[in-house]
Amino acid sequence: MMEFIKNKKIDVRKYTMIISLIGIWILFSFLDKSGTFLSSRNLSNLFRQMATTAILAVGMLMILVDKHIDLSMGSLVGLTGGISAMLMYNFGMPWWASIIITLFVGAMLGAWTGNWVNKGVPAFIASLGGLLAYRGIILGISGGITVPVSDPIFRMIGTAYLPKLLGLILGIFSASYIVYTSLKKRNDRITYGFKVKAMYKEILILIVYVAIILAFVLTMNSYRGIPIPIVLVLSLGVIFKFITEKTQFGRQVYAIGGNYEAAKLSGINVKNRTLWIFIISGLLSAMAGILFTARLGSATPDAGNSFELDAVASCVIGGTSLLGGEGFVFGAILGALVMASIDNGMSIMNTESFWQYIVKGLILVVAVYIDISSKKKK
């Protein structure tokens, strides 16, 4: 079942996306005569801006892989962000208690949606109901006014930076770990008689990975250090990469999306898995809500509007199939970076906002077309 993850064709799509991202950056750096786009300050802001969408995309990935959709994510970001701010500002709760309660609320609302899906309500309708209901709840409990964040520690979640020395140590550790695991995996494959890449190709790929990691760390350190939101996104990426690729739960989610009937007949508890992916989706939406509120320093009733669409677009651009069964965690995160880069680059160029919607819409349609076309060829 996991063979498709190692499939050469999928790898080509992943590399194509990275090349596309580099192409977008080169294009904007060429069009931006002021040199702002590739400045360390702007790149730091770009990574902080993409964090919320990236966290939502990780949750949406598992939903799409299972052939569902969660349209309530954006409203849940607004609701949970508002709850966390009100618990601190209106009720005087400490920041940690506010976070725990907010995450619990997010998980329970995810379970609420998943429960309706298991009862036969299409996920599109169940989550659309959530989209409307959660927006109404936050308008009702906040009175339609902005709630400020009163706790400075809570704000640090969205605005602080990792100390530069610690960031450099983490970068070197990450690069060393990638080199070690890649070479170990190669040796294991040779031991068991599997085909491996030529050694020069392996070394070339590793050099590219190490160069990207060190360039990222040095660029961030040339400003204020690695933003905490990005540390959170990368940590979640590693955790969910492990969950989706190495655990029985992850394999079963892919199996359900790949062939529902076969998965059911093989004894997989489909309803249980469906419930859990919606709980995870709700939990990650609450995390995104906390991060978004912490970054802005306040919670507004309209926060999170259309975020679910950005999450879907990030997943599809990142290689997740709307037909189910295929998708990669870091692909979804890269997709979020592509979306944020387009937003950021067009904003720097003072492009009219309607053009941003048009461009992102066209990219989404092309990405879906490529996905469907590649499926038909298979």
pLDDT value of position 377: 63
**How confident is the model over 174-192, as pLDDT tens digits?**
999 989 988 888 888 888 8
Asked if 135 contacts 75 with a C-beta cutoff of 8 angstroms, the reply is yes
- pLDDT above 80 (res 16): no
pLDDT digits (tens, 9 = 90+) for 199-258: 888 888 889 889 989 999 999 999 989 999 999 999 999 999 999 988 999 999 999 988
Mean of pLDDT values over 98-113: 96
Average pLDDT of the segment spanning 265-271: 89
Helix axes 248-258, 40-65, angle to 10 degrees: 70
Mean pLDDT of the chain: 87
Segment 291-315 shows an average pLDDT of 89
Q: Return the minimum-mean-pLDDT range out of 43-57, 223-237, 271-285, 360-374.
A: 360-374
pLDDT at position 125: 93
Question: What Rg, from alpha-carbon coordinates, does the chain have?
Answer: 21
Residue 3 pLDDT more than 70?
A: no
Distance separating the N- and C-terminal Cα atoms of the chain: 15
CB count within 10 Å of CB 242 equals 12
| Torsion of Cα atoms, 198 then 203 then 209 then 215, to 10° | -150
Q: Is residue 304 within 8 Å of 350, Cβ to Cβ?
A: no
The pTM for the full model equals 0.89
Q: What pLDDT is attached to residue 243?
A: 93
**Partner residues linked to 147 by β-bridges:** 299
Confidence of residue 362 (pLDDT cuts 50, 70, 90): confident
Contact 308, 61 (CB under 8 A): no
Mean pLDDT for the stretch of residues 140-167: 90
Averaged pLDDT for residues 299-307: 86
Q: Using one digit for the tens of pLDDT, what is the confidence trace for 116-143?
A: 999 999 999 999 999 999 999 999 998 8
pLDDT, average across residues 366-374: 73
Question: Has residue 98 got a pLDDT over 90?
Answer: yes
Q: Residue 291's pLDDT is what?
A: 94
